[in-house]
Amino acid sequence: DRVERVVGFVLSAVDDRRTEERETHRRVQEKRRAIQCKMEELQQLRSRNARNSHKARARVDKVGDRQNKRVKKSLHPIGKGASLARAKKQKIIDLDEDGLEAIP
């Protein structure tokens, strides 16, 4: 009777251990999958960023001056953080009401 109890206790302990291992394994697998998804997502973002920056570099205005193109873009909202020095360097051409060009 006592032997049966000891054997039963050992078997239940082994069973508990197996259940615990299965649970741990499942959790580890979930974590792995989550990490894998994140890695794939990051890779997609990296390749998208690389493509976009390549396109931006390839976009050259008529004169072929890339810097000029970038400066124009950053100057667009003059009030929002664009430097005045750069605004002066870049000759901004506005149209007056009568259609004549005025260079500030």
Once rounded to an integer, what is the mean pLDDT over residues 9-17? 94
Distance of CA 66 to the CA centre of its chain: 25
Rounded-to-integer distance, Cα 60 and Cα 77, Å: 21
pLDDT confidence bin for 55, thresholds 50/70/90: confident
What is the model's pLDDT at position 100? Answer: 56
Q: What is the dihedral of CA 71, 76, 79, 81, to 10 degrees?
A: -40
Q: Which residue has the higher pLDDT, 37 or 99?
A: 37
Name the residue type at position 104.
P
CA distance 4 to 50: 68
Question: Rounded to two decimals, what is the model's pTM?
Answer: 0.42
Mean pLDDT of the chain: 74
Region 40-67: mean pLDDT is 73
